[in-house]
Amino acid sequence: MIPQRAAGALTWRADNPEGTNPCTVLPGTGEAEWTGTVPSAQIPQAVGSATRPYIVTGNNDQVGATRDGNPFDATVYLGCGYASGWRAERITQRLQMAGSQMTVEDMQSIQGDHTVLAGGRFRPFLMSAFARLEAEWTTPGTHPDIAALALTLQPRAARLRDAAMRVQSWTLDGASGVEADATPARRRDAVATSIFHGWMSRLLRGTFSDETAVLRVGGIDSIRAALHLLEHPTELRARTASGESVLWDDLSTADATETRDVILLRSLDEAMADLERLTTTADVERWLWGSLHTVRFTSLIPGTDATLSIPPTTDGAFPRGFPRPGGIDVVDASGPGLGGSNYSFGSGASQRLAVELGPDGPRAFNALPGGQSIDTGSPHFRDEAELWRTNRTHAVPFREAEVVAEASGRWRFEPTP
């Protein structure tokens, strides 16, 4: 049941920024009410086929209604906030690699996938900018737009060159790297994951924070906006004399006009300083993603006793929370903060449920980010968290006999005489 919106609820356009839209507060004066429900024929649908025997969704825009930057001009308004699409893309890749025969174990493996496809889209632009920086270092004056920055970065050339090399050779595996059995390759990926996310954090701030501060607006989808700036530079109407979007220019520097590559390269330099400060070491080999990208489960109720934290704040093994792999828009949802000082979880999977439907009934597996009991003294307070954080599950008893067999005890409640 999707509400049909009246025309008065959808008057926003790029040339009418004061128009109405359902992503903000609508007027209550009658012109923006629901007029019924969207006919089922107009709701996006998918049916598996012989060549594509699966249906994939990952909170993405399934029909491209937001591609033009205006989700309100589609045939039917369905929503304005979607994931970037990398999760759905990676799920599709994994299903295609697996072929037509899938097992529960295959699906669980896909649920735990933490390949950072976003890295593959942003990385070429950093590499291109760095190649220009190398040319400017070798032959000063080759690229006048980055000449001043090149001089500033010259003392840190070896450090920046190493960082760029690590990002270039990254397999896009958002590895944690802190596990005792982590291989050298996994640890290299973990360092590269840290550098990439540190760079993205600085890139987003360096590109948009000056404009949003002046305009006093927030909530923009900065990751998608930055990628659009990079991949479709000519679609932006406001451009500098050199043809680049004015968004690359830093409004806080009145005597200079920054170019795209200045922002890309300066962001890498700033990210290296951020990571050194956060990890308290200049040893890049110790910049493991799992030491920065952590998760702690706490009660959503304000003022709740801190002992409900999983792991406890006093846990010596996990003082900052459980280390986790992942990154920007990966299948195993693990949205990192990109504020530059905290890369811990902003969101994640509320459960990991995989079910096989067979003629004898369902065979299900699950794990919760916590446990089945709120009693901190119960063995079931955090037992599922131990499974969740390592991408393992337990069998879910379904039939009565299975439930009884799994029971650890019984409580009997009787009315007071």
- Beta-bridged to residue 297, according to DSSP, are 310
Q: What is the arithmetic mean of pLDDT over 52-75?
A: 87
Q: What percentage of the chain reaches a pLDDT higher than 70?
A: 96
Q: Cα separation of 310 and 371, whole Å? A: 10
Residue 219's pLDDT is 56
Q: What is the arithmetic mean of pLDDT over 61-72?
A: 86
Q: Sorting pLDDT into bands at 50, 70 and 90, what band is 236?
A: confident
- Beta-bridged to residue 323, according to DSSP, are 294
pTM across the whole model: 0.91
Q: Dump pLDDT digits (tens) for 132-181.
A: 999 999 999 999 999 999 999 999 999 999 999 999 999 999 999 999 99
Q: Sorting pLDDT into bands at 50, 70 and 90, what band is 216?
A: low
Residue 176's pLDDT is 96
Q: Are 221 and 212 in contact (CB under 8 A)?
A: no
Q: Are 233 and 245 in contact (CB under 8 A)?
A: yes
Q: What is the arithmetic mean of pLDDT over 289-304?
A: 83
At 279, give phi and psi (nearest 5°).
-90, -10
Q: Cα separation of 232 and 200, whole Å? A: 18
> Which residue, among 342, 344, 363, has the nearest Cα to 354 in the 3D structure?
363
**Mean pLDDT of the chain, nearest integer:** 90
What are the structural domain ranges in the chain? 1-112, 117-292, 354-406
Please indicate whether residue 348 or residue 210 has the higher confidence score (pLDDT): 348
Residue 303's pLDDT is 65
Cβ neighbours, 10 Å, residue 246:
13
Q: Are 267 and 146 in contact (CB under 8 A)?
A: no
Q: Dump pLDDT digits (tens) for 42-56.
A: 888 888 888 888 899
- Beta-bridged to residue 322, according to DSSP, are 295
pLDDT at 410 over 90: no
Residue 346's pLDDT is 84
